[in-house]
Structure 1
Amino acid sequence: MKRFLLVALTLVLVCFSCRKDQPSHPELVLRYADNQSSGYPTVEAAKYLAELVKERTGGRIELRVYPDSVLGSETSVMQQMSYGGIDMSRFSLGTLYRFFPELWTLQLPYLYTDNEHMWRVLDGEIGDMYLRNMSGERIVGLAWYDAGARSFYTRNPIANISSLKGLTIRVQENDMMSRTIELLGAEAVQIPYQDIYSALQKLRIDGAENNLPSYVFMDHNQAAPYFYQDEHFRLPEVVMISVDAQEKVAAVDPLFVDVLIECAKESGLYERKLWQEEEKRAYEAAVESGVIFTIPSKEDLLELKKSMEPLYEELSPQQREIVKRIGDA
C-alpha cells in the first residue's frame, strides 16, 4: 500500500512539474494555411514548424496547420493575412509577385543552372534582401521553402521546343508565366490549381507546367502522361506571417518574434530534405505509372533560353545587376 501511494505521489509531482513547465492552454493560437494536402513536403514542414514553436515558447504559442485550401486559395489567404484574418502561410513566388512586383526578377525562366545554384543565391545576401523587402501588405517574409523545378506535361508527346507551338498550357495567375508560354508559341490559360485535372480530362487544355511532386500528388500523370523536363522555372516559396500576428507574438513575449523567425528558417531546411525525398518518390511513381520523360537536348535548351531573351531585354539596369549577381553566384 505504501509503495502504491509513493508511486501515485511521484506521478502527481511529475504531472505538476510538466504543467508548470508548459501551460495546459496556449496564450496565443496562430492559424497557418496551406493549399496542399497532408503528406506534402510543405505541409509536413509546417507541422514541424508548429512543433518547434510549441517547444521553444514553452507551449505559450501554438501554431495550427490547415492544409487542403480549407482556409482559401493562395490569393484569398494572402488577402486575409493582410488584415489579420489568417496568421501565417506559405506562398509561391507566382502568387507573391502580384503583391510584391520586385519579385519579377526571381521568376525569370532559366535563371538558375540547377538547384544548388538557386540555394547559393537564396541563402546569401540576395535571398536575405528579398525577404527583408517583402514587408508590404502587412505581411512579412520569414524563410524560403523549396518547390523544385517546373516543367511541362501534356496529353500528347513533346519531342522538342517546336512541339509546344500551338498548345494550350495552364499556368498560374502570373504575368511572367503567361509571357513565357507565349514566347514559346503556346497559349497560356490561367485556371485554378484544383481544376487542372478536370481541364485535362475534358480536353480544355493540352497540358500544364509544374514541379514533379505536384504533378504526381494531384494525379495529373494519369491525364497527361508526357513530361518534358526542361525545368524552365525554379520558383521557391516563402513562409510569411501577418504583421498583426507578429504583434500578438510580441505581446506574449518580445523575444518570441525572433524565436519564430528561427523556427521558420529551421523548418525551411527540413522542408528541403523532404522535398528531395519527395522528388525521388514522385519520379519512381511516375515511371511506374507509364509516364514518358523527355529531357531536352543541349540544342533545345539553348533555343528555349534564346526564346526568353525579350524578357531579359526588358529588365531595368537594377534588375540586370541582380541577374548578373545571380549568374556569378
Structure 2
Amino acid sequence: MKKVLLIVVIIVVGFFSCRKEESKYPELVLRYADNQSSGYPTVEAAKYLASLIKERTGGRIELRIYPDSVLGSEIDVMKQMVYGGIDMSRFSLGTLSQFFPELWTLQLPYLYSDSEHMWRVLDGEIGDMYLHGMVGKGIVGLAWYDAGARSFYTRTPIANINSLKGLTIRVQENDMMSRTIELLGAKAVQIPYGDVYSALQKLRIDGAENNLPSYVFMDHNQAAPYFYQDEHFRLPEVVMISVDAQKKVAAIDPSYVELFAECARESGLYERKLWLEEEKRAFDEALQSGVTFTVPDEDDLLALRKAMEPLYQELGEREREIVERIGNT
C-alpha cells in the first residue's frame, strides 16, 4: 500500500512540475521595432513596456524589442505592421501623417509654447481625440512618447533666420517639414535618418534638424557643430500595435487588450522622465564637444513664426478651431 501511495505522489508531483515548467514559455511572442539604439529613451521605455506586459500577463505574452532599425526603417516597419508582419512599434508624427492625414495639424511649426504646453494638450481631450482616431489602417494608437523639440544644426554658423536662406537642410520624409524649411528660404532634402551623418561629411547637405538627444546620439555634432535652438517642431511619437497582434492578444484574454494600453501609457510616463534626463546629458556632451548653441531672440522668433503664416492660412475651419483650442490650453 505504501509503495502504491509513493508512486501516486511521484506521478502527481511530476505532473505539476511539468505544468510549472510549461508556464515558463509564453503563449504569444510579439515583435516591437525601433529605429534607435539601446540606451535611447524610446528603446529603454519599450523594454520597460515589455517587462510590464510580461509581469501582468503572468508570462503568457512576451514582447521582444528589436532596436537599431534591424526590422527596417520607420516607413518599412509601418507597412509591415499594416499587414501584420511586425506587431508593435513607435512612430513619429511625420511618418504617421502619411497614413493619418488628420495629424497634419499637430505638426504645425511653433504650435506649442514649450514642453509643458504640449503635454497639457496631449494628456487632455485633444490628445485623446487624435490618439483614438488612429484606427482603420491596420494599426491602433496606444500612447504618446516624448521626442523633444526639433531645432536646426549646421556645418556653418547660424546667427538668425537670414542665415538659413540658401542652405540645403535634411528633413524627414514628410511634406510638412519640407514646406517649413522652404518657407524659411532653405532647400529641403528628404534623406533617411541613418544617412544623415554621411551626407554631412560628404557635404551633400549643409545641415539638418532634429531633437538634441538624436543630434548627439548619432554623432551629428561632430559633423555639424552649430546648433540653432529655435525649437520649430515639437513632434511627439506614438506607440502603435497592429490590429492582427491585438486580435492575437484578445484570443489569449480579452482583458489583455486594455491591459496593453495601460502598460503603454505607463511606459509613456517613464519615457518622458528618461527623455528629460537624456536632453540634459546630450546638452552637456554637446557643449563639451565644442558645439556652439544659438538661441534666437524675441525678434527672430517673431520673424520665424511670421514666415509660417502660409501654413496656418491653409487650415480648414475645424483645424483652425483645434489650433485655437491648443493655444488656449
Do the structures match in fold with TM over 0.5?
yes
2:224 and 2:77 map into 1 onto residues whose CA distance is 29
Rounded to whole Å, the distance in 2 between the matches of 1:313 and 1:182 is 16
How far apart, in 1, do the equivalents of 2:94 and 2:250 lie? 30
> Match of 2:3?
none
- For the pair 1:212 / 2:236, whether they are aligned, the reply is no
Q: Deviations over 1:138-193 (max 9, x none)?
A: 10000000000000000000000000000000000101100000000000000100
- Note if contact 1:22-1:59 (Cα within 8 Å) is conserved in structure 2: no
Question: What amino acid does structure 2 have at the position aligned with 1:246?
Answer: Q
Which residue of structure 1 lines up, in the alignment, with residue 233 of structure 2? 233
Cα 1:58–1:294 shift into 2, 3 Å: same
Give the letter for the 1:30 counterpart.
Answer: L
Q: Is the 8 A contact 1:22 1:60 kept in 2?
A: no
Tell me which residue corresponds to 2:146: 146
Residue type of the partner of 2:306? K
Q: How does 1:40-119 map to 2 (within 5 A)?
A: 40-119=40-119
Q: Which amino acid aligns with 2:154?
A: T
1:25 aligns with 2:25: yes
Q: Which runs of 5+ in 1 are unaligned?
A: 1-12
Deviates most, 17-26 or 110-119: 17-26
Q: What's the offset of the Cα at 1:237?
A: 0.1
| Closer, same or farther: CA 303–243 of 1 in aligned 2, 3 Å | same
| Partner Cα distance (1:18, 1:268) in 2 | 38
Percent of matched pairs sharing the same residue: 82
Q: Is contact 1:22–1:58 with CA below 8 Å preserved after alignment?
A: no
The DSSP-based 3-state class of the residue aligned with 2:284 is helix
SS of alignment partner, residue 137 of structure 2: coil
Superposition RMSD on alpha carbons, in Å?
Answer: 1.4
Partner Cα distance (1:84, 1:278) in 2: 32
Q: CA deviation at 1:21?
A: 10
Distance of 1:304 and 1:239 partners within structure 2: 31
**Following the alignment from structure 1 to structure 2, what is the Cα–Cα distance between the partners of residues 22 and 33?**
27
- The equivalences for 1:156-171 within 5 A come to 156-171=156-171
CA contact (8 A) 1:170 1:190 kept: yes
SS where residue 58 of structure 2 aligns? coil
Aligned-pair CA distance for 1:226: 0.1
Q: After superposition, what is the alpha-carbon deviation per residue over 1:247-289, rounded to whole angstroms, capped at 9, x for unaligned?
A: 0000000011111100000000000000000000000000000
Structure 1 residues 164, 63: closer, same or farther in 2, change over 3 A?
A: same
2: CA distance, partners of 1:19 / 1:307: 66
Aligned pairs, number: 315
